[in-house]
Structure formats: structure tokens, C-alpha cells
Chains A and B, each alone.
Chain A
């Protein structure tokens, strides 16, 4: 079955520390993957898509087909990065979301 797994429900780090939010997927074929972010009391918004290989707000994510992973990384976390992060996979034109990881960045 095609699915997305985010193993960590909560990730808590101090400001300035590196962050890695894990995402693993199972998909037969070439996956199209996204990271979405939901700040407190705000709507879900797109953060990154793997095909564009961009860096947004200091975050990057590399698709590793060998490990079937698409981990989200940032070298120096900021307090304003605190939010829910969702990894998502396109399947049949629909987005399949992981369970989400709550990132808490402490001062």
C-alpha cells in the first residue's frame, strides 16, 4: 500500500539547534512528495516540493529513493518554526498525508 510515515509525533529542540523531521514513504514508481506546514491557528500551506529542489525558510528536503525517505532539514531552528509539519505523497492525483510531526522550538 502506498503510504507516508512520520515516525515522530513531537520533536522538541532548542533555538539554533539543527532539525530533521523524518518522512518515509512506500510507493511503487516515482513519487511526488511535498512538505506542508500548519502554524498555530493558520491554514495548511505548502512548504516544499521535491521536484523543485528549493529551500524555503531555510528548510530543505532531499528525496532518497534508496531509503524511501524525504526528510525535512534545517541547520538552525528558529522559534517561529514551531508548527505542525506534514509530509505528503501524490497518489492518483490526491495527496496522502503522513501523521504529522509537531515541531517545538524552545528559546
Chain B
């Protein structure tokens, strides 16, 4: 149980375009989902927290107009990188949490390359 999927697993886009990444909890209802960015062999940087049906909370230094997050249902959150720039190239990971536990279940990640 507690499986989180992400789609796509890899995406290449051109500078200036937008790209959407989906995060789904497959077998549980995720009241909260988190979006992270990970650099090679580095830590996970929390970008934002999204709660179903409400606006996402962004961490300091993360541009909310650039990284649009929507958590429209208890099983789906999306991250849209707008006006993508090569500096946005990274590994984006989502996680989901349900109920009262702090435990988070992680997706497999999405490799974004902006050319």
C-alpha cells in the first residue's frame, strides 16, 4: 500500500514553454502533498506544501508564479513549471501524506531538462 506515482518520469522542453508534472496517490487519500527539488547526490529541497482544496504554501525563495501547484483532489497534485529556463532543469519529487501521521510516501521523481 501507500504508493505514489509521478508522470512523466522524464520530460524535455524548450526554454519559454511550460511543463506539467502530475503526482498521484494510488491507494490512499493524500490530504497533503509536498513538492521537492533534488540536485545530483544532494539533499531534497522542499518547494511547497499543498493541501487538497486550498492554495499551496511555498517555501522562502520559491517563486509561486513560476511553480504553479494545484491539488484539486485527494489523489492528485500537479506542478506546472511556467516559462521554463535551463536553470529549472532538475529532478522533481513529490510526496504524499494521509491522515494524522507525519510519514510521507515518495514518488519516483520526474527528470526535467530544459533546452
Given known pairs A49-B103, A102-B41, the reply for A43 and B49 (CB within 8 Å) is no
| Best-surrounded residue of B32, B44, B107, B108 (most CB of chain A within 10 A) | B44
What is the minimal beta-carbon distance from A10 to any residue of chain B, in angstroms? 9
With beta carbons under 8 angstroms apart, the residue of B41, B102, B106 that contacts A43 is B106
Chain A positions 60-107 with a Cβ under 8 Å from a chain B Cβ: 84, 86, 90, 93-100, 102
State the CA gap A94–B59 with chains docked (Å): 11
Judged by DSSP, the binding face of A is strand
- Taking CB atoms, residues of chain A closer than 8 Å to B41 are 9, 84, 100, 102
Q: Give A32's nearest chain B residue, CB to CB.
A: B102
Known contacts: A97-B43, A97-B44. The answer to whether A43 contacts B107 by CB under 8 A is yes
Contact A44 B44 (CB under 8 A): yes
A15 CB to closest chain B CB (Å) equals 22
The residues in A between 7 and 38 inclusive whose CB is less than 8 angstroms from any CB of B are 9, 32, 34
Q: A93 with B102: in contact, given A84-B41, A100-B43 (CB under 8 Å)?
A: yes
Which residues of A are interface residues toward B (Cβ below 8 A)?
9, 32, 34, 42-46, 49, 84, 86, 90, 93-100, 102
Q: List 27 A-B contacts (CB under 8 A).
A: A32-B102, A34-B103, A43-B4, A43-B106, A43-B107, A43-B109, A44-B44, A44-B93, A44-B106, A45-B106, A46-B103, A84-B41, A86-B43, A90-B102, A93-B102, A94-B46, A94-B49, A95-B34, A95-B95, A95-B102, A97-B43, A97-B46, A99-B42, A99-B43, A100-B41, A100-B43, A102-B41
* 3 closest residue pairs by CB, A with B: A44-B106, A43-B108, A99-B43
